[in-house]
Chains A and B, each alone.
Chain A
Amino acid sequence: MLHDRFYSEWVPPPTDITSGARISALVKIRIEKDGRVSNFEIIKPSGNAAFDESVATTAKRVTEVDPLPAGLGNGEHYDVKINFEPDSEQ
């Protein structure tokens, strides 16, 4: 499903680059009815260049997800925000 696709495709930078800081990046994506990801926009960057780059790279890797279930969104597309967080236990 959506979470799993982004979870598996997203590779945060090694922890020695982000120093285990509690950072996150918020993106907004648009999913078309057929599952195509038509828009991917970082609306709140983390401020860490390597971290934001890793999130942007994920957008290039996930260009299509499962088609929208009936009744979700306006019938044509569905907007959802995704908050990317590193491993908080580091």
Chain B
Amino acid sequence: MKLKSEVSLLRAKAASAAERAQRSFFLLLACMSILSASGGSIYAQEVPTITVSKGDKINLTVSPLGGSDGGAATKTLQSDLTLSGYFILGGRASYTTRGSASAGNLQGQVVDHSGGTVLSKSYSGGTRENAHRFADDIVETLTGNKGFATSKIAFIATRSGKKEVYAADYDGSNVRQLTHDGVISVHPSISPDGRRIAYTGYQSGYPDVYVIDLASGARNRIVNFPGTNSGAAFSPDGGRIALSVSKDGNPELYIVSASGGGARRLTHTRGVESGPTWSRSGDEIIYSFDDGRGPQLYRISSGGGNGQPIATGHGYCTEPNWSPDGKKIAFNVRGGGGFEIAIVDLSGGGARVVSAGENPVWGADSRHIVFAEGSDLYLLDTVSSRKNKILDGLGKITEPSWSR
């Protein structure tokens, strides 16, 4: 019991789920060593048990926010904190959130179990936006990790009968249809700051790359080389775009500026390069390369050179997406029943399949992915494997992209 209460005390003070678990086990080891040393043979024979639980979370109470917008803000905050994967709401709480929301202002606090204030901040803007920003600050304060509550997603949906570009909040709220062209639009890529969306549209009759500025609604065609221009992906700083261009006869990777100028060819092969994704620093690009034997993942310096294969153990790998922490690639593989989502750790260890579905994209926390399955979008916590549907009812939804 003493051990349990000490672990509980540690839990109340710890900064993150991982740290809590680590400290608990250090304590467990220390106590077992003491028992073994002082208690004699009956303890020495015992095989200790540790629990690896994906439910290992921080207990948090969300007190209803006061004020005229308190109800709506509380609901958004509860949803964000639950979806972050770090918290259990309710129970014997280590922390409590409180505050008020009205007239475009949210005042939020987080206090620990002894009443000490660990976060106090004011936000001004829309009710949902304020609650999202408060949620991200809570995640960062209590876990040290970046949250994704303020992030946006872009995707393709067929609600109107044609493939059009849409945007929404990460949780599926605030859906906006951005194109109404009545032609095919594909491969949307939202800039890391969530302000621009690049995509391939056919309104000229040919597949060209356009960029939409979300604040102004302005749309510019930035790449219209002969042939196919597709798979545009913003660099981490938003200043460059990598894409697949077929003007040389077969698809090759190119890098252009975010306004479309300064095109530079990156690959020189007889195969097909597609689906580029940038490293955190912008120094490297991972992509899918098919030389006729099935697409494989390759990595190349964004300055040029030769692409190097990445071992995944899978024969068909497309649509790679590099996690913001630089450690993992999520991508499509072809399984027995259709497309599946796999994750490979770049430090080695082989790929693992985490779900059915297509087009996985990492969130800012390098822990959650959004992907399409069936006609809907899902959010998957790759640590706990908890899966939430975030969007449906827009015809067939495909090709999500997620701001960071």
Residues of chain B within 8 A (CB-CB) of A14 are: 354-355, 380, 385, 387
A80 contacts the other chain (Cβ, under 8 Å)? yes
Question: B182-225, CB under 8 A of A: which get 1 and which 0?
Answer: 00000000000000000000000000000000000000000000
Given A4-B18, A28-B47, A71-B33, A61–B387 Cβ distance below 8 Å? no
> How many inter-chain residue pairs (CB < 8 Å) link A and B?
99
Inter-chain contact A72/B33, CB cutoff 8 Å: yes
Among B16-64, those with CB < 8 Å from A are: 18, 21-22, 24-26, 29, 32-33, 36-37, 47-57
Within 8 A of B (CB), among A1-54: 1-4, 6-16, 26, 28
**At the interface, yes or no: B393 with Cβ under 8 Å from chain A?**
no
Asked whether any CB of chain A lies closer than 8 Å to the CB of B88, the reply is yes
A15 touches B385 (CB 8 A): yes
> Given contacts A16-B387, A85-B55, are A11 and B352 in contact (CB under 8 A)?
yes
Give chain A nearest CB distance to B157 CB in angstroms. Answer: 22
Inter-chain contacts of A8 with B (CB < 8 A): 18, 383
Q: Is the CB of B22 within 8 A of A87?
A: no
Q: Say whether B337 faces chain A, with CB atoms less than 8 Å apart.
A: no
Assuming the A-B contacts A1-B22, A14-B385, A15-B386, are A83 and B50 also in contact, with contact meaning beta carbons closer than 8 angstroms in the complex?
Answer: yes
Instruction: Flag if B21 contacts A87 (CB, 8 Å).
Output: no
Taken together as a complex, chains A and B put the C-alpha atoms of A25 and B22 apart, in Å, by 21
B47 adjacent to A83 (CB under 8 Å): no
- Residue interface mask B361-386, A partner, CB < 8 A = 1: 00000000000000000001011111
Chain A 67-90, CB-CB to B under 8 Å as 1, else 0, gives 001011000000111111111111
The SS class assigned to the B binding surface is mixed
Which partner residue on chain B sits nearest A7 by CB separation? Answer: B52
Q: Is the CB of B52 within 8 A of A85?
A: yes
CB <8 Å contact, B53 and A88:
yes
B338, CB-defined interface residue at 8 Å:
no
Q: Shortest 6 CB-CB distances between A and B: which pairs? A: A88-B55, A85-B53, A81-B49, A87-B384, A87-B54, A3-B25
Task: Report B's interface with A, CB cutoff 8 A.
Answer: 18, 21-22, 24-26, 29, 32-33, 36-37, 47-57, 88, 349-350, 352, 354-355, 380, 382-387
List 14 A–B pairs whose Cβ atoms lie within 8 Å, in order of A's numbering: A2-B25, A3-B24, A6-B52, A10-B54, A12-B384, A12-B385, A14-B385, A15-B386, A28-B47, A69-B33, A81-B49, A85-B52, A86-B384, A87-B53
New A-B contacts (19) at CB < 8 Å, excluding given A81-B48, A87-B54: A1-B26, A2-B25, A2-B50, A3-B52, A7-B56, A8-B18, A11-B354, A11-B382, A15-B385, A16-B387, A69-B29, A69-B33, A72-B32, A80-B49, A81-B47, A86-B384, A87-B384, A88-B53, A90-B386
